[in-house]
Amino acid sequence: MAKSQPVEDEFLNQELDRMRMMKRFPELPTARQEIIRTLRHISENRKFLHDLVTFFVDNCERCPVAHELRDRAGIMRSAETKSLGNPHCEKCGGTGWIHSTRTVKLPGMQPYEAESSERCNCSPVTHG
């Protein structure tokens, strides 16, 4: 497996410069370096970083600080996860799993209720 290459400073500076017209843009070199370090820590994927900066440029008036960049990156990553089933399925709601409760009966024990899950028919079958 090939190791990914770190993102170059030139690319990160270009992305940071896209936010130059925003309020509270970090003009001091140490403040700029903090944002660059944060971007480098968030991802080595250039498209992901570009999309992250684009969100702030398109939706905010003030330049984001480090924790805002990290928070938004987490939101973007969770949005990337695809559902396992059909989002319009009435049985599973798109999760690909049907949850239910069943009565378990074992010899020598009182019956008890147990939660269970099974794959929904709308979910693609994966063979491992």
| Cα 15 to Cα 37: distance, rounded to the nearest angstrom | 12
pLDDT value, residue 118: 85
In sequence order, what are the beta bridge partners of 99? 117
To the nearest whole number, what is the mean pLDDT of the chain? 86
The whole model's pTM is what? Answer: 0.60
Confidence of residue 3 (pLDDT cuts 50, 70, 90): low
Judge residue 15's burial from the number of C-beta atoms within 10 Å of its C-beta, 0-12 exposed, 13-18 middle, 19 or more buried: buried
Tokens 């799993």 correspond to 97
Residue 81: the pLDDT is 63
Q: Looking at residue 127, what is its pLDDT?
A: 39
pLDDT of residue 5: 64
Residue 45, pLDDT > 60, answer: yes
Question: Do residues 61 and 25 touch, judged by C-beta distance below 8 A?
Answer: no
Per-residue model confidence (pLDDT) at position 128: 39
Rounded to 5 degrees, φ, ψ at 90 are -80, -20
Q: For position 121, what pLDDT does the model report?
A: 86
Amino acid at 66: A
List beta partners, residue 119: 97
Beta strands in 40-110 (DSSP E): 97-104
Per residue in 73-115, pLDDT (tens digit) is 998 887 766 667 777 888 888 778 888 888 989 899 999 888 8
Give me the mean pLDDT over the 68-74 stretch: 94
Neighbours of 112 (CB within 10 A): 10
pLDDT at 82: 62
